[in-house]
Amino acid sequence: MKTDAILSNLKEGGYRMTRVRRAVVAALSGSAVPLSALDLKTLLSEAAMRVNKTTVYREIAFLMDRGVIHEIQFGDGKMRYRVCPEAHHHHAICVRCSRVEEITMENDMKKHERAIARRRGFKVLSHTLEFFGLCNSCNGK
Amino acid sequence: MKTDAILSNLKEGGYRMTRVRRAVVAALSGSAVPLSALDLKTLLSEAAMRVNKTTVYREIAFLMDRGVIHEIQFGDGKMRYRVCPEAHHHHAICVRCSRVEEITMENDMKKHERAIARRRGFKVLSHTLEFFGLCNSCNGK
DNA sequence: CACCAAACGCAACCGGATTGCATTATGAAG
DNA sequence: CTTCATAATGCAATCCGGTTGCGTTTGGTG
Ligand SMILES: [Mn+2]
Ligand SMILES: [Mn+2]
Ligand SMILES: [Zn+2]
Ligand SMILES: [Zn+2]
């Protein structure tokens, strides 16, 4: 579990350790799928922890600001969050079970970015790339 | 101007020609940047046309259903719309002036999709890819 | 012109997210 | 252990993009 590593990092940074902070970090680092704010609130409630939704949003903002988590758009109007990975990468999102696999292809993307800069003078600063489809276990149904 | 072509296509399809329809199609096909629903409403209002926001949303839905326009996510919580291009493609979005360039790279993306299917059994159904950066004219500032 | 479905306006509503403000709790200092 | 500053929290109101139900208007055809 990387929960402890994240929390001790934050502690070293001089930030307070609160119930909600511990619970949100644990929930996110223990989840295979990205979680929305409401997902988080529900999870905490199920763990008998009473939390206000505003607090959840503020904790998300806090963790985003410190680069602990990042957000993903599924395109349904809700932001989802998950603990930041080591390097920039993309996602293959299962439209059936919402499981997310990480896709690394930075060499290719860098190549494309250079091509765009060369051919049209457009200086690429960032990009988003998500694949939607059926994961291995959802495929055969 | 492709406005007329779109409108006569719709007419042939047996759809009514209304003030709002004409204005929305004209606004979208005449804009270099994708427009949000509110953008459209504002533009029409400036042209001394009084429109209800619900009507704008319904006209957008109508044009989407007929494949006349498609939506783009800038990632700021608002959908943007623009007239459909010929083929599937991607965008290079200027973060300074919001101008959008179309990027075609389907051969490469198809290759990536096949690789993902081969390597992890994930069947890709669709993908989103957007580049953010500085366009040619915004680059030097 | 008469007629009907498509289009429209309006008001209420929805859900995700944000804000202002008063209250509580963390953690460090004494 | 107590004090204290401030970070974190709860709550209610609010925002904002978008949707819905419903009654009215309008486009286009006969
Ligand atoms: Mn990720
Ligand atoms: Mn496009
Ligand atoms: Zn799946
Ligand atoms: Zn620009």
pLDDT tens digits along B61-110: 999 999 999 998 888 889 999 998 767 888 898 988 888 888 988 788 99
Instruction: Out of A79-88, B22-31, B37-46, pick the least confident.
Output: A79-88
pTM higher than 0.95, yes or no?
no
User: Which ranges of A16-128 would DSSP assign to H, the alpha helix?
Assistant: 19-29, 37-46, 53-65, 106-120
**Residue of chain B minimizing CA distance to A127:** B131
Mean pLDDT over A23-36 rounds to 95
Work out how many CB contacts closer than 8 A connect A with B. Answer: 93
Query: What's at A139, amino acid-wise?
Result: N
Residue A18 CB in 7 A reach of strand C: yes
B127 near A131, Cβ under 8 Å? yes
Task: Check pLDDT > 80 for residue A1.
Answer: no
Query: What's at B64, amino acid-wise?
Result: M
Distance CA A94, CA A138 (A): 8
Q: Which residue has the tokens 């765009």?
A: A116
pLDDT of residue B141: 65
Rg of chain B over all Cα atoms, to the nearest angstrom:
17
For chain B, percent of residues with pLDDT exceeding 90:
71
- Pairwise CB contact (< 8 Å): B133 & A139: no
pLDDT of residue A15: 95
Of the candidates B86, B63, B119, B109, the one whose C-alpha atom is nearest the C-alpha of residue A109 is: B109
Domains and their CATH numbers in chain B: 1-84 (1.10.10.10), 86-141 (3.30.1490.190)
**Residue of chain B minimizing CA distance to A119:** B136
Among B residues 38-57, those touching chain A with beta carbons less than 8 Å apart: none
Instruction: Out of A82-91, A104-113, B50-59, pick the least confident.
Output: A82-91
B69 near B80, Cβ under 8 Å? no
Where does the pLDDT of residue A74 fall: very low under 50, low under 70, confident under 90, or very high at 90 and above? confident
Average pLDDT, chain B: 92
A133 near A92, Cβ under 8 Å? yes
Of the candidates B107, B109, B104, B105, the one whose C-alpha atom is nearest the C-alpha of residue B125 is: B109
Task: Check pLDDT > 70 for residue B116.
Answer: yes
B77 CB neighbours in chain A (<8 A) are: 77
